[in-house]
Amino acid sequence: MSLRTPETIIETQAVTKRFSGSRGLFRPATFVSAVNAVSLKIRRGETFSIVGESGCGKSTLARLLVRLLHPSEGAVLYQGTDISSLSETDMRRLRKDLQFVFQDPFSSLNPRMTVGALIEEPMKVHTSLSRPERRQNVAELLRKVGLRPAFSNRYPHEFSGGQRQRIGIARALASGPKVIVGDEPVSALDVSVQAQVINLLEDLKAEFDLTLVLIAHDLAVIRHMSDRIAVMYLGEVVELAPNEALYNEPLHPYTQALMQAIPIASPHGRSMDAALTGDVPSPLAPPAGCRFHPRCPHASSLCSTEKPELTETGTDRMIACHHWEKFAGNAQTHLREPPRSANAEKRFTLFRERCQQQEPTTADNP
Ligand SMILES: Nc1ncnc2c1ncn2[C@@H]1O[C@H](COP(=O)(O)OP(=O)(O)OP(=O)(O)O)[C@@H](O)[C@H]1O
Ligand code: SF4
Ligand SMILES: [Mg+2]
């Protein structure tokens, strides 16, 4: 009797992205290693979140996942195909599966196009639907994201931030994607609107059988939605764990520090950036050994010379730390979980059951 192994939909293999930094007349070219040798597997049907302080490489990794950026080294596999080395023509066929929702819906929507044209555009590119069929789908998608079909003749500037993000989500859904990557999809919105858009994403995920990858600063948002969470520090993943395990017992000193800084009374009150003292070292010259060692209360001499690899702990979690076993369990976590929507609760239960199902099974709908 073997447990069913969750199916991988996207895999990164030691993916690295370097950007060229400042270059002066008498200065050599510098490089920012925004993402450094990140290897992870995202499972079909899960909500996978990536968290970390500003500048740690979350957006760069998110863009690499859907080939909005090319890696400098390493590979990104979508359903086993290395999309980092595909030609533009071959990539066009897969593009419909991999969609991106941007943080700022206003700048990502062409202001000269009507809402209807914006949502119809991906259907023109990726489907063979007739014009009346596309129009019908636009109306249906607008309804699905909680907007009136009559809005299709209006322009993006006529809408509020929350409505524009709903339009961005409808546009992402228009090609019939399998994966949606949201780069802080609610952080530009008012707190009251954030919850509505989060619940909308939850509902759409269930309805369209999507895999969601979410980038977020707000720990409460991540807690609310994620199945698994990757914690990034200075371009690297330092801990990867299921939601509850990470919040109940963070193992990496960086994750522990982030969790300890969450106030009990107001989970919305602070961002990751406020969670740690000490400056994040420059990504232009990251520290040797463990990149976290200048800020780590547990650092040893080994930590400043030898880089800890991200390794399995044997409990569906991974950690990059030489000494995690010594201080596992030290952290006190205080996050008060916001109430989940009924749909989110149902999906969480189904997801867990699905991971524990015995082979063989074909039931894949969350
Ligand atoms: N196009 C670029 N050119 C040069 N450097 C870049 C570029 N994009 C990102 N970087 C640098 O790469 C690093 C990671 O940036 P990234 O935007 O991925 O971080 P982030 O975690 O998304 O930050 P934030 O939370 O502020 O959005 C930063 O040091 C950033 O300055
Ligand atoms: S490897 Fe060392 S410096 Fe890095 S997190 Fe672990 S104890 Fe801290
Ligand atoms: Mg970002």
Task: Return the domain boundaries, the chain.
Answer: 8-93+230-356
Question: Any bridge partners for residue 321, and if so which?
Answer: none
For atom 1 of ligand 2, which residue has the closest CA?
A: 321
Please check whether residue 45 is in contact with residue 247, taking contact to mean a CB–CB distance below 8 angstroms: no
- How confident is the model at residue 194, as a pLDDT? 82
**What's the CA angle centered on 220, arms 219 and 223, to 5 degrees?**
85
- Position 273 scores a pLDDT of 44
Residue 298 CA, ligand 2 centroid: distance in Å: 6
- d(CA 270, ligand 3 centre) in Å: 17
Residue closest via CA to ligand 2's atom 6 equals 321
For 102, what's the count of Cα atoms within 13 Å in the CB-facing half-sphere? Answer: 13
Which residue, judged by its Cα, is nearest atom 18 of ligand 1?
57
CB atoms within 10 A of CB 272: 21
**Going by CA atoms, what residue is nearest to atom 7 of ligand 1?**
19
Residue 55 C-alpha to ligand 3 middle, in angstroms? 7
Predicted pLDDT of residue 68 = 95
Which ligand neighbours the alpha carbon of 234 most closely?
A: 1
Task: For residue 304, give the ligand 2 atom closest to its CA.
Answer: 3
Pocket test for ligand 2, best of 234, 236, 300 (most atoms within 8 A of CB): 300
Domain 8-93+230-356 has CATH 1.10.3720.10: no
User: Can you tell me which atom of ligand 2 is nearest the CA of 293?
Assistant: 3
Distance from residue 57's CA to the centre of ligand 3 (Å): 7
Amino acid at 347: R
Copy the structure tokens of residue 260: 């300890």
Q: Report d(CA 157, CA 112) in Å as an integer.
A: 10
Ligand 1: residues within 6 Å at CB? 19, 32, 34, 52, 54-60, 283
In order, the DSSP letters of 54-107 are: TTSSHHHHHHHHTTSS--SEEEEEETTEEGGG--HHHHHHHHTTEEEE-S-HHH
Helix 115-126 to helix 131-144 angle (10° resolution) is 120
Q: Please tell me the distance from the alpha carbon of residue 110 to that of residue 118, in angstroms, as a whole number.
A: 8
What is the full per-residue pLDDT of the chain (366 aa) written as tens digits? Answer: 455 678 999 999 999 999 987 656 666 667 889 999 999 999 999 999 999 888 899 999 999 999 999 999 999 999 999 999 899 999 988 999 999 999 887 788 899 999 999 999 999 999 999 999 999 999 999 999 999 999 999 999 999 989 999 999 999 999 999 999 999 988 888 877 887 888 888 889 999 999 999 998 766 677 778 999 999 999 999 999 999 898 888 899 998 887 775 544 334 444 444 445 566 777 788 899 999 999 898 899 999 999 999 999 878 999 999 999 887 766 544 333 444 556 556 655 655 555 455 433 333 332
Location of structure tokens 């961002």: 271
